[in-house]
Amino acid sequence: MPRVHAPSFAIISGSQVKDVLGSAERAVTGIVEDVYMAHGKGDSVNPPSYFLRFPDRPESRIIALPASLGGAAPVDGIKWISSFPGNVATGLPRASAVLILNDPATGYPIACLESSIISAARTAASAALAADRITAARGVARPRRVGFIGTGLIARFAHTYLAGNGWEFDEVGVHDLIDEHAAGFAGYLSRSDAATPVRFHESAQSLIEASDLVVLATVAGAPHIADPAWFAHAPLVLHLSLRDLSPEVILAAANVVDDVEHCLKAQTSVHLTEQQVGNRDFLAGTLFDVMTGAATVPADRPVVFSPFGLGVLDLGVGRFVYDQVLAAGRLDTVDDFYAELERYG
């Protein structure tokens, strides 16, 4: 058997990731769509995420998302992402992450990428994709009034990806429990689109009732929105933070998830609903089902999209970043990263 050399190992910084993904919203959304299609057809391996929790820091966690993606450019790997809400008060972002890409032929890691940007981008791309496909499946025009509850990094990326995929709004609503955060998000909105008015809302109810597209991007650990009557006008809800809605709201809506087994765990709103009613009949299907026409979504009821976030999405976007950096000749490799390659020395 011919000798196989260990692949090189590269470090891809956040600034390099940002350079690749900046203004690439349509390309990244296309990648995310392709990955969802591959996953729906079984051309992926996406085990359950593993949550590392801390008895002395119950609000914090680190999550491992292992995955394998097939297709023309197969790749294996794992995302290791932390969520420490206490960081925000000290000026640091809540989340930090790295993504390890593995060579599918040898299993050797080939790259470590800063992944908070990749994670935010794939989350926002999945939201924009779902908004487009679900709206089309409902047979209605794209919503013109959008509202954001929670105004951190994910909200900013979600707006950027909606705009980058051609969404236009007559008004953008903003609600956050911390006025400073709402004002900062409004400043971003004004810089990105000065022509669209921004409206601050004192309550979640006010924002929801004034919005046809609602983006939930909070750090809530338990449901805090419990009245189905707030959704009587049948908005589309992008439930990116997963734990904002009570079972009563979920049961009054048509529910689309990215993956059933992943979403119905870890005390998400849909998981709590399953525990309450003892079945999954409240699910309309997955985003793959919507894209392939296997699931229908109504125009006269609220529709909630709850994406748990799949590791294969990180792999797809991470591989794109790796390939772009490599093609540009900017891949920074560590030549002696693998130093013990002789079996007997």
Average pLDDT over residues 22-33: 97
Query: Residue 1 pLDDT > 60, yes or no?
Result: no
> Is this model's pTM higher than 0.85 or not?
yes
Return d(Cα 242, Cα 246) in angstroms, integer.
Answer: 10
Question: In terms of residues, how long is the chain?
Answer: 345
CB proximity list for 174: less than 8 A, separation 6 or greater:
147, 148, 151, 182, 185, 186, 189, 198, 199, 200, 201, 207
Q: How far apart are CA 117 and CA 259, in angstroms?
A: 22
Q: What pLDDT was estimated at residue 2?
A: 64
HSE, side-chain direction, 13 A CA sphere, residue 144: 4
pLDDT in tens, 222-275: 999 999 999 999 999 999 999 999 999 999 999 999 999 999 999 999 999 999
Question: In Å, how far are 179, 180, 182, 204 from 176, measured between CA atoms?
Answer: 6, 9, 5, 8
What is the CB neighbour count within 10 angstroms for residue 67? 23
User: Which superfamily, per CATH, for 9-118+311-334?
Assistant: ornithine cyclodeaminase, domain 1 (3.30.1780.10)
Question: Which strand ranges, in their side-by-side order, compose the sheet holding 145-149?
Answer: 198-200, 171-175, 145-149, 213-216, 236-239, 303-306, 254-257, 283-286
CATH architecture of 126-306: 3-Layer(aba) Sandwich (3.40)
Q: What is the pLDDT of residues 202-231, one digit of tens each?
A: 999 999 999 999 999 999 989 999 999 999
Q: Using CA of residue 321, residue 14, residue 66, residue 8, what is the dihedral sign?
A: positive
Lowest mean pLDDT among 1-15, 188-202, 301-315: 1-15
Question: Are the C-beta atoms of residues 265 and 48 closer than 8 Å to each other?
Answer: yes
Residue 19 neighbours by CB under 8 Å, 6+ apart: none
Average pLDDT over the chain, rounded to an integer: 95
pLDDT tier for residue 73 given thresholds of 50, 70 and 90: confident
- 231, two tokens: 């959704």
CA distance 203 to 49: 33
Q: How far apart are the first and last CA of the chain?
A: 20
- Asked if the model's pLDDT at residue 115 lies above 60, the reply is yes
Domain boundaries, the chain: 9-118+311-334, 126-306
The CA distance from 299 to 235, in Å, is: 9
pLDDT of the residue at 4: 66
| CA–CA–CA angle 271, 276, 278 (5° rounding) | 85
Mean per-residue pLDDT for 190-195?
A: 93
Instruction: Tell me, letter by letter, the H, E, C secondary structure of the chain.
Output: CCCCCCCCEEEECHHHHHHHHCCCHHHHHHHHHHHHHHHHCCCEECCCCEEEECCCCCCCEEEEEEEEECCCCCEEEEEEEEECHHHHHHCCCCEEEEEEEECCCCCCEEEEEECHHHHHHHHHHHHHHHHHHHHHHHCCCCCCEEEEECCCHHHHHHHHHHHHCCCCCCEEEEECCCHHHHHHHHHHHHHHCCCCCEEECCCHHHHHHCCCEEEECCCCCCCCECCHHHHCCCCEEEECCCCCECHHHHHCCEEEECCHHHHCCCCCHHHHHHHHHCCCCCEEEEHHHHHHCCCCCCCCCCEEEECCCCHHHHHHHHHHHHHHHHHCCCCEEECCCCCCCCCCC
- pLDDT score, position 323: 97
Write the CA distances from 252 to 106, 248, 249, 272, 343, integer angstroms.
49, 6, 5, 14, 62
